[in-house]
Structure 1
């Protein structure tokens, strides 16, 4: 028989072992759970850098103003994903080459040159920067990384001609021309064809200023046309001077490139405009999406780039109706202002009856159509 004292001692020892085991178990330090891996955000893509070069000041109307509205439309579309810059009043020639090269060196991945005379300088710089996309407005030469885009202003000027032919009292219309290049000759000829479609007696006089933007020269040219009997004026220059000169003389005129109705409300019959925003947005999307390719794009009324807007209440209802019909046909692609028979102002047929002019024909215009007085100057 086990001694009582021994049993007590054994029991106490057993309890001590159990307690010690429990204390060891309770006192075991648990390993901490592994910390979650830090969340690292993917590096944010740098914004695409795009630049524009303008031949005139941005101002508040005209060609460069219209292109800058297009730049702003692209900014609004892409927000922080697009960084834009522009340089205004850049002369065509050596200065343009220097500016275009500088914009490429600044890291711009697409550069828009918005005047005809920028073509050769841009072509030269494009060869030096194969990873940059270059776009030239109104030209005809391309490269692997340079393409061209243009507007069909002649569609606007045809409709303006319809209004001018309906409004004139003297049957003499005036046109202030910049340079005698196909782009401008198309507009003069379409203006005459539109006028003659409603008024066969209408004739067009042209004064050349050999500049895109020079308000004093434009004003002098407009005054010269008025002195020669012109009572409705149109221009292919970039300022509001022609419209303002017409208003001072109690004559009529049109806005050009952008809405100019506020600059000569008593003279303003309508404004021939270009909305460049949709094209610039498409072009930047092409670069961002890797689908940019060398091509020539010519948009007009059908694509929403060109339009004749703010037609005055002074314009007869019949002329407004005809313009509406023409505009609808242009949008539908069923009307081409340059459709034969068309003769030049010497009587020579330049487009046969029933034939619609193709782009090559329009690009090669070097003549005045019937109704336009004088000869096309040689040179630029």
Structure 2
């Protein structure tokens, strides 16, 4: 069966994610669920679980499994055309919670959910929840708060005033992070110019790298690495990069200055609690990615501690406090960003 073929033993992948996220997990409040048995849970992903965005979902699921809240299995590299079939098979196997990302299979996934009203579906989506489909909730990585803060640092670190930005697709989840980053950079220098390009793939490091090389040749001295491959280009050319979703500084200690981190734990833990209580319903779980919910943070500067201008770090501190208190709101702009 295809699910079995795509499945990778969770124990083999846990070390990739737990080793790099132990520090941040201490900062995130978790919601323990008292249940007689773990909730049978499945994850369906269209890319490898090493990919930035999916890795955060996968890590949160492994954490919940280690707590005993869920019994977790997953499939990766599932094509959009095969997504509905795999979704249906997991529902038939008795899973009570199914998580994944349906950006390329929105309609088909919702049709499957309608056939299994007793299964809770929590899906990454560019669209909103539908009250007529009460068992289908949506989420997205609304980490614009930390993206904005990373932009402040980038704006302080660029000497050329030219920043290159490489993204996967110009969809809302990417666009809002780029706009927030750009707004933060302009806080330090309103005259900064941006080169913006999308590679048309969620996982094509060579293409992302080549796109980044072209930006460097065109004067960029800081790169926004929304995709894998961008930081490799920055490292090879001796310039700086800003990470997204995960912290890759350990792999690029002289290159990655800061990263906006996504913590999926608050989102998943809320869903687990609702399923356990029998109160899961259609909702937009995107709010649990906000900074004041513990869903995002700025990664530690690590090797760049003390190397970012003091004025920038003071502003980062100020804005962080204001975001958490509600005194400052980072604009959510889902429109496609353009080069300057």
Settle same-fold status: TM greater than 0.5.
yes
Please list the CA deviations of residues 145-193 of structure 1 after superposition, one character each: whole Å capped at 9, or x if unmatched. 1011223222222111111111111111011011112222212222221
What is the deviation of 1:226? 1.1
What is the deviation of 1:301? 0.7
Q: Which runs of 5+ in 2 are unaligned?
A: 1-34
- Check 1:166–1:47 CA distance in 2 against 1; reply closer, same or farther (3 A cut): closer
1:346 maps to none
**Greater relative CO, 1 or 2 (CA 8 Å, sep 6+):** 2
Please list the CA deviations of residues 263-311 of structure 1 after superposition, one character each: whole Å capped at 9, or x if unmatched. 2110111111111112212211110111212111223111110111122
1:119 maps to 106
What is the deviation of 1:235? 3.0
SS in 2 for 1:324: helix
Residues 1:243 and 2:231 are matched in the alignment: yes
Note if contact 2:44-2:78 (Cα within 8 Å) is conserved in structure 1: yes
Note if contact 2:40-2:96 (Cα within 8 Å) is conserved in structure 1: yes
Larger radius of gyration: 1
- Check 1:118–1:326 CA distance in 2 against 1; reply closer, same or farther (3 A cut): farther
Q: TM-score scaled by structure 1?
A: 0.74
What is the deviation of 1:46? 4.7
What is the deviation of 1:115? 5.2
Taking the aligned partners of 2:269 and 2:172, their CA distance within structure 1 comes to 27
Residues 1:97 and 2:84 are matched in the alignment: yes
Residues 1:57 and 2:48 are matched in the alignment: yes
Note if contact 1:243-1:263 (Cα within 8 Å) is conserved in structure 2: no
Please list the CA deviations of residues 63-120 of structure 1 after superposition, one character each: whole Å capped at 9, or x if unmatched. 222111111121123x1x52111111223x2121122112111111110113532433
Taking the aligned partners of 2:77 and 2:257, their CA distance within structure 1 comes to 28
SS in 2 for 1:265: coil
Structure 1 residue corresponding to 2:321, chosen from 322, 328, 334:
328
How many correspondences in the alignment? Answer: 298
Taking the aligned partners of 2:151 and 2:70, their CA distance within structure 1 comes to 40
SS in 2 for 1:90: coil
Taking the aligned partners of 1:219 and 1:161, their CA distance within structure 2 comes to 21
SS in 1 for 2:292: coil
Residues 1:140 and 2:127 are matched in the alignment: yes
Q: Could you list the runs of 4 or more consecutive aligned residues of structure 1 that deviate by over 3 angstroms after TM superposition?
A: 44-47
Taking the aligned partners of 1:233 and 1:303, their CA distance within structure 2 comes to 28
Q: TM-score scaled by structure 2?
A: 0.82
1:5 maps to none
Taking the aligned partners of 2:259 and 2:125, their CA distance within structure 1 comes to 20
Taking the aligned partners of 1:95 and 1:222, their CA distance within structure 2 comes to 32
Note if contact 1:53-1:113 (Cα within 8 Å) is conserved in structure 2: yes
Please list the CA deviations of residues 38-69 of structure 1 after superposition, one character each: whole Å capped at 9, or x if unmatched. xxxxxx9553211112232123x622221111
- Check 1:160–1:248 CA distance in 2 against 1; reply closer, same or farther (3 A cut): same
RMSD over aligned Cα atoms:
1.9
SS in 1 for 2:313: helix
1:234 maps to 224
2:277 maps to 289
